[in-house]
Structure 1
Amino acid sequence: MTDYGHDLTFGSFLTPRADAAEQVVDLAVASEEAGLDLVTFQDHPYQPSFLDTWTLLSYVAARTERVHLAPNVANLPLRQPAVLARSAASLDLLSGGRVELALGSGAFWDAIVAMGGQRLTPGQAVDALSEAIDVVRGIWDAGERRALRVDGTYHQVAGAKRGPLPAHDIGLWLGAYKPRMLRLTGAKADGWLPSMGYLQPGDLDRGNAVIDEAADDAGRDPREIRRILNVSGAFTGTTPPPGTPVDAGSIQGPVDWWVEALATLATEHGVATFVLGSDDPRTLATFGREVAPAVREEVAARRASAGTTTGVVRPARALALREPGIDYDAVPSSLRDRAVEPGDREYPLVRSTYMRGGRPGIVLRPRTTGEVVDALQFTRAQQDAGNGADDRLPLSVRSGGHGISGRSTNDGGVVVDLKRLDEVTVLDRATRRVRVGAGATWGRVAAVLGEHGWGVSSGDSGGVGVGGLATAGGVGLMGRLHGLTIDSVVAYDVVLADGTVARASADENPDLFWGLRGAGGSLGVVTHVELAAHDVPPVVFATLLWDASDPAALLRAWGEVVESSPRELTSFLIVQAARRGNPAVAQAYSVFASDDVPAAERALTPLLGIAPLLQQQAQVVPYSAVVAAHDVPHQGEGDGGTYRNSVVDTFDVDTARRAAAVVESGLGQLFQVRAVGGAVNDLTSDATAYAHRDGQQFVVSNVAFARRTEFDAVWDEQMLPVQHGSYVSFSTDRRPERLVDVFPGPTLARLRDVKRRYDPENVFDRNADLT
């Protein structure tokens, strides 16, 4: 007796008749309505009386909402594997993760050759299928940056780019009967898909044995391989005589006999998916509405009685990548289905940040504040079971993963990814009060608020996450008019180190509210932010390009214009030194936060003459177009380089000369200046944990990590003498003596008091060290 403990699914196997195209689609829709989980179609590209299967699958995907779809089975000799892999991934994305891929090695060779395919012997066909599996899996491995190369006898891929990544783990099933195909199934496939009509009694068990042995030989758990069976038969009023085999031929009998037969196939012969070959809508309806639920109930009872182990089986290759310091079996049930481990399909897309590579032991993806509590308690339990504070399991919290510091990932620890807490809800139209999930991006927030004519100043990229920016500062493109992002925050929901949930505002936990606005990542996990948005009409967005051969003069002139301009104008400047034959240039992108075009022209015109002008452009656009919404996976690699920044008073002669010296050192890959005067300076230095309220300019630069020491020496010499401080989110400088640059003396003392009250064990230690 064999039962692999898989959940049971049921499907239909439809004939793709070209002369009844609408009827075929209607049967697919009826299969979904009957509660079936899967719809499949034969694939015979040489058959002119049939619809093309892949075209039909695409059409049916658009007509259905829930049911999964698959060829049964795809004719590999006429389906180029790299293209087939992209087609499957694309349809999976378009359908919301509802595609499976069943492959066959080929049959009807005269017809295949007539269509331009290559005739193969049975052995050659198996080898070609094995190579094709490598191609398909390689194309789907979109997280691997190296080009795909498969140097096979029958299928070659010479440096193809990988992707797209499917929306879910597409099952790769093989239609197999002979020993070599069965062994290939055990070694490389996710499922075995024979047809009952081609089997003799005992073939299922013999096939399972071959597959299991091949899986063991390949270092796999045989339970990784789902057993799928195409069944046929009819619903009749006569029960078959005792002793009628259920593992071959067709099933003939009443519903009760079907239930008994399928339950036996599941619990004694390992079948977990039953696909009924029928084009009769009544038969399909009976199968979905009566047989399937009864079989599930009967199998559940038999498994409970037998103590059968059920559930998803992780591949052995993935189990080998687990971190020894994490009890993966203890992951809370609320988080288990969405947890991502090394070896998972999605791991390459969640392990890193925008700039930096990481290799966490597990990524937890909560959807609610309660699940964040679960994630934190799980992590703390792992830390308590570890080797002490000096070797504590790392904990990182990620909202958008865009932060250049890389602190929202780690090596070997836990990442709590808040991306699914992304709602944007208007609470009060009169006060423009908005509640935003910490995992939302500012591009999405801008789009939603823009529908109401509102906005919040929020950096310069729509891909930045809400949680990080709204707890660190937020130096944005409307900052001189509306202040830092934290200046628009009126309340936070935060999970504290002990697992309690607190609300922080001017009236509730005001000390925590003060600290979260500037040092939030060190005090708790913010799950939601309440904002008081501003009225924001369309804005004037301008980009200007100058010759920067005299960077000191340009910086001084740019600073004078911006600092004396109306508060509606906020400008960011990038200066690039001459290198590799390219001239020195500077580019500014500026927002005039009003649709008053004449006023914008008056404010922008002085910028045209600060240096030889090379290019100019300005347009009236919604603010949501300036920080456009985009959501792409972050796939940073390595250390991401080192960043330093300084808040300075103004670009007087000395400061401009010093900043120009950093540019001309040639070390920096990026040199940017952001205007932070105006409304940013309206608050006092002790109003928030972000204390640098007296500077007019914010300067940031970076360099490859290998040249960090040299770069630090130049920055320290040139910028430290003129800076007021630095900003936590744009610094990778973890030297203890530089902490007072981020949080000056009185601010640091007050923060340490808040830290001792809300996080005495320093659970949140990935940001500034406040202990």
Structure 2
Amino acid sequence: MTDYGHDLHFGAFVTPSNRDPQQPVRLAQAAEASGLDLVTFQDHPYQPGFLDTWTLISYAAAVTETIHLAGNVLNLPLRQPAVLARSVASLDLLSGGRIDLGLGAGGFWDAIESMGGTRLTPGQSVDALSEAIEIIRGIWDAGERRPLRAEGEHHRVAGAKRGPAPAHDVPIWLGAYKPRMLRLVARQADGWLPSLGYMKDGDLARGNALLDETAEEAGRHPAEIRRLLNVQGTVTADRQGFLQGPVDQWVDELAGLALEDGVGTFIAATDDPQLLAVLGGEIAPAVRELVARERATAGTAPAATRRGRAAVELRRDGIDYDAVPATLASSAVEPGDRAYDTVRHNYLRSGAPGLVLRPRSTAEVADAVSFARSQDVPLGIRSGGHGISGRSTNDGGIVVDLGALDQIEVVDEATRRVRLGVGATWGQVAEALAPRGWAISSGDYGGVGVGGLATAGGVGFLGRTYGLTIDHVVAAEVVTADGRVAHASADENPDLFWGLRGAGGNLGVVTWVEIEAMALENVVFSQMALDATDTAGLLERWGAAVESAPRELTSFLILSPARRGQGPVAQLMTVYAGHDTDAAVEQLERLADAGPLLGHQAYLLPYSGVVQAGDKHHSGGGDPAVRSGLVTHLDTATSRAFERLAHSGDAYFLQIRATGGAAHDVPDDATAYAHRRQNFLLSAMSSSQERIDAAWDATMAEHTEGLYLSFDTDTRPERLTEAFPEPTLSRLREVKAEWDPDNIFRANFPIPPAL
């Protein structure tokens, strides 16, 4: 008996007939309505009676919502691998991660030749398929910056640019029967997809044995290869043969294939919508129940927990991988997993965690926290992974990735109260709120995650009008250090609510926040470049113009130091929160007077056009060291100090963000973010922490009055009071002692609990 412990999936194998072009589409919709997991289509590009399978899959993806789609199997000799890779990735992105890839080496060579394909021997076709898989996976590896080169005998690419990455880890299943193809499945593929009707008695067992042996030789666990099976039958009142009988016969026989032959996915070859309804509504649930009962008795381990020798050798010390909760095991990512490179890094910092947990619900977050606290490794919590400080990844530790918690829902129309999952990005939020004429101030890039910004502060493009993002948070859900789920608001756990707004990462894992949006139609967005030869004078004039401007105006300045014969340049990004273009132009002209104007563009557009949705696939970016400081005014002394820092060569990126206006309306003690009188946030980025610390301490330290938690990588203990000045720090330590007395959440400017 062979049972690999795979979750059971059920699907349909549909004929792509073009006699009634909409019939295969209706069958796909029927499969989805029946609760099936997958719909597949034959692929015979040389068959004039069929629709083109890839076009059909694309069309069907647009009219379905949850079901996965695949070719069964795609004819590789007539589908160029690099183009196919981009097609699959593109449709996977468009469909929300619902495209799987079944591939075949080719078989009807006369027909293939008639369509311009090249006839291959059986051995050549296997080699060609192997080369194609390498190219397809290489194209999908968007995190690899080197161009893709592959000099195969049958398929070649010469410096192809990689990407896009699919929305999910697209499995590659191969249709295979003979030993050489089965060995290829074991070495390179994710699944074996034969048709039962083409097999003799014992072929499943013999195929499994060869797959298992070859997989282990390659360092893989046999359970890493899903066993799929195309089956054919009818539901009848009486037993008439295999899968020819009543529902209970189907249940027994499919369960037998799962438990004895390791089949994890059953795909019914049928164009009968009634059979699809019975398969999804009656047979599949009963098979799952029966198999689960038998597995519980036998103690069968889930497939997701089984990894081969090569993967196990990459595991890190201090993590009990066998103890990962069952709720998280299927989506967990370890070093050596193909998805590892897509989750190990954040936006600007490289990481090498020993385990990435990807919970899909608050209950699973609680499971993740309970597991992580029992391990002897660092813990990182990731919302969007954009944080400049890099605390959402680590080396050898555990990362809890909250990206799946990305809901955006309106809670109260009258108060414009919205509930945001912390894994959503601010670009997604802006896009969702724009049709209502609402907005929430949120940084300067749409790829930033909700969770980090909505708990640390939120110095955004609407800041002088709206205030900090945290100023409009009215409630939150948080998983605490002991795995409890708590709610926080002004009325419920008020001390926790106070601390979450400014030091949230130190107190628990926030799963959602409720925020009151502002009413906002279009904004004026300006991009301006100024000659910064007189750097200090420009900064002083720009700062004065911003401070005296109406609150509708918020401006950020990026200072590019002189290099390679080019003088210093200041780039202004400014938002005027309103559609009064005359008033906006008047204020922008005042900003332009800060220095010689090199270029200017301005647009009237929704706020969602300013913070557009960004890519969440991060590949690290040089591991920058960052220092930050808050100042009340850009006076002469402060401006000259920032000029000296820029000219020192110790920082390659310098920015100033306006953070006054409405943020001043909130008392210092209302939130754990206590910096309520400063007007500007200054930051500088370097390749060396030691170098930027020395330069910053020598030039800026005497002029600054606090720091911004998310823009600083210097965690020396003395910096803590700059982030949280007294009496804020003492109160935070009391809150920490109540909610995280063992200091589980210590990666984010660690706050020692009060004794």
Under a length normalisation based on structure 1, what TM-score does the superposition of the two structures give?
A: 0.87
Partner residue of 2:158? Answer: 158
The more displaced of 688-697 and 501-510 is 501-510
Mapped to 1, the partners of 2:409 and 2:297 lie a distance apart of 48
Mapped to 1, the partners of 2:347 and 2:436 lie a distance apart of 31
Task: Please state if 1:559 is matched with 2:540.
Answer: no
- SS across alignment from 1:588: strand
Partner residue of 2:644? Answer: 661
Distance 1:566 1:192, change over 3 A: closer
Distance 1:497 1:614, change over 3 A: same
The more displaced of 545-554 and 556-565 is 556-565
Partner residue of 1:389? Answer: none
Task: Please state if 1:541 is matched with 2:522.
Answer: no
Partner residue of 2:44? Answer: 44
Distance 1:17 1:597, change over 3 A: closer
Distance 1:741 1:602, change over 3 A: same
Of residues 371, 385, 390 in structure 2, which corresponds to 1:378? 371
Task: Please state if 1:625 is matched with 2:606.
Answer: no
Partner residue of 2:345? Answer: 352
The more displaced of 174-183 and 419-428 is 419-428
Mapped to 2, the partners of 1:138 and 1:353 lie a distance apart of 21
Distance 1:185 1:503, change over 3 A: closer
Mapped to 2, the partners of 1:20 and 1:533 lie a distance apart of 49
Distance 1:216 1:625, change over 3 A: closer
Partner residue of 1:692? Answer: 675
Partner residue of 2:388? Answer: 404
Partner residue of 2:661? Answer: 678
Q: Quick check: 1:493–1:528 contact (8 Å CA) kept in 2?
A: yes
Partner residue of 2:686? Answer: 703
Distance 1:320 1:737, change over 3 A: same
Mapped to 2, the partners of 1:419 and 1:380 lie a distance apart of 21
The one-letter code sitting in structure 1 at the alignment partner of 2:720 is L
Task: Please state if 1:755 is matched with 2:736.
Answer: yes
Of residues 587, 595, 600 in structure 1, which corresponds to 2:584? 600
The alpha carbon displacement at 1:257 in A equals: 6.0
Q: After superposition, give the CA deviation of every residue in 1:420-444 in whole Å (9 maximum; x if it has no partner).
A: 3344444445544444433333334
Task: Please state if 1:474 is matched with 2:458.
Answer: yes
Partner residue of 2:77? Answer: 77
Partner residue of 1:741? Answer: 722
Q: Quick check: 1:358–1:637 contact (8 Å CA) kept in 2?
A: no
- SS across alignment from 2:481: coil
The alpha carbon displacement at 1:406 in A equals: 0.6
The alpha carbon displacement at 1:551 in A equals: 0.8
Q: After superposition, give the CA deviation of every residue in 1:180-239 in whole Å (9 maximum; x if it has no partner).
A: 222222222233333344333333333332222222222222233333334446677885
The more displaced of 566-575 and 621-630 is 621-630
The one-letter code sitting in structure 2 at the alignment partner of 1:203 is D
The one-letter code sitting in structure 2 at the alignment partner of 1:193 is L
Mapped to 1, the partners of 2:549 and 2:63 lie a distance apart of 57
Partner residue of 1:571? Answer: 555
Mapped to 2, the partners of 1:612 and 1:127 lie a distance apart of 63
Distance 1:616 1:141, change over 3 A: closer
Mapped to 1, the partners of 2:327 and 2:36 lie a distance apart of 27
Partner residue of 1:94? Answer: 94
Distance 1:232 1:412, change over 3 A: same
- SS across alignment from 2:482: coil
Distance 1:118 1:409, change over 3 A: same
Distance 1:66 1:520, change over 3 A: closer
Of residues 366, 374, 381 in structure 1, which corresponds to 2:359? 366
The more displaced of 123-132 and 734-743 is 734-743
- SS across alignment from 2:705: strand
Q: Quick check: 2:143–2:618 contact (8 Å CA) kept in 1?
A: no
Distance 1:587 1:164, change over 3 A: closer
- SS across alignment from 2:587: helix
Partner residue of 2:316? Answer: 323
Matches within 5 A, 1:232-311: 232=232, 262-279=254-271, 311=303
Partner residue of 1:390? Answer: none
Q: After superposition, give the CA deviation of every residue in 1:271-321 in whole Å (9 maximum; x if it has no partner).
A: 444444455666666666666566556656665666655544644244443
Q: After superposition, give the CA deviation of every residue in 1:4-28 in whole Å (9 maximum; x if it has no partner).
A: 4444444444443444544444454
The alpha carbon displacement at 1:408 in A equals: 1.7
The alpha carbon displacement at 1:404 in A equals: 0.6
Question: Is there any run of 5+ residues in structure 1 with no aligned partner, and where?
Answer: 387-392
Partner residue of 1:644? Answer: 627
Q: Quick check: 2:305–2:330 contact (8 Å CA) kept in 1?
A: no
> Number of residues paired by the alignment?
751
Distance 1:173 1:423, change over 3 A: closer
Q: Quick check: 2:235–2:246 contact (8 Å CA) kept in 1?
A: yes
The one-letter code sitting in structure 1 at the alignment partner of 2:471 is D
Mapped to 2, the partners of 1:490 and 1:290 lie a distance apart of 45
Q: Quick check: 2:350–2:620 contact (8 Å CA) kept in 1?
A: yes
Under a length normalisation based on structure 2, what TM-score does the superposition of the two structures give?
A: 0.89
- SS across alignment from 1:657: helix
The alpha carbon displacement at 1:748 in A equals: 3.2
Matches within 5 A, 1:148-187: 148-187=148-187
Q: Quick check: 1:425–1:434 contact (8 Å CA) kept in 2?
A: yes
The alpha carbon displacement at 1:579 in A equals: 0.9
Q: After superposition, give the CA deviation of every residue in 1:46-93 in whole Å (9 maximum; x if it has no partner).
A: 333433222233333344444443333322222222222322333333
Q: Quick check: 1:646–1:726 contact (8 Å CA) kept in 2?
A: yes
The one-letter code sitting in structure 2 at the alignment partner of 1:147 is P
Task: Please state if 1:59 is matched with 2:43.
Answer: no
- SS across alignment from 1:725: coil
Q: Quick check: 2:4–2:303 contact (8 Å CA) kept in 1?
A: no
The more displaced of 119-128 and 44-53 is 44-53
Identity of aligned residues (%): 61
The alpha carbon displacement at 1:412 in A equals: 1.8
Q: After superposition, give the CA deviation of every residue in 1:461-499 in whole Å (9 maximum; x if it has no partner).
A: 233233322332222233333333333334444333334
Mapped to 2, the partners of 1:189 and 1:465 lie a distance apart of 34
The more displaced of 462-471 and 716-725 is 462-471
The alpha carbon displacement at 1:519 in A equals: 2.6
Q: Quick check: 2:526–2:601 contact (8 Å CA) kept in 1?
A: yes
Mapped to 2, the partners of 1:545 and 1:437 lie a distance apart of 36
Distance 1:153 1:284, change over 3 A: same
The one-letter code sitting in structure 2 at the alignment partner of 1:524 is G
The one-letter code sitting in structure 2 at the alignment partner of 1:476 is G
Question: Is there any run of 5+ residues in structure 2 with no aligned partner, and where?
Answer: none
Distance 1:211 1:645, change over 3 A: closer
The one-letter code sitting in structure 2 at the alignment partner of 1:751 is L
- SS across alignment from 1:724: coil
Mapped to 1, the partners of 2:406 and 2:201 lie a distance apart of 54
The one-letter code sitting in structure 2 at the alignment partner of 1:551 is T
The alpha carbon displacement at 1:394 in A equals: 0.9
- SS across alignment from 2:617: coil
Distance 1:217 1:701, change over 3 A: same
Mapped to 1, the partners of 2:136 and 2:494 lie a distance apart of 56
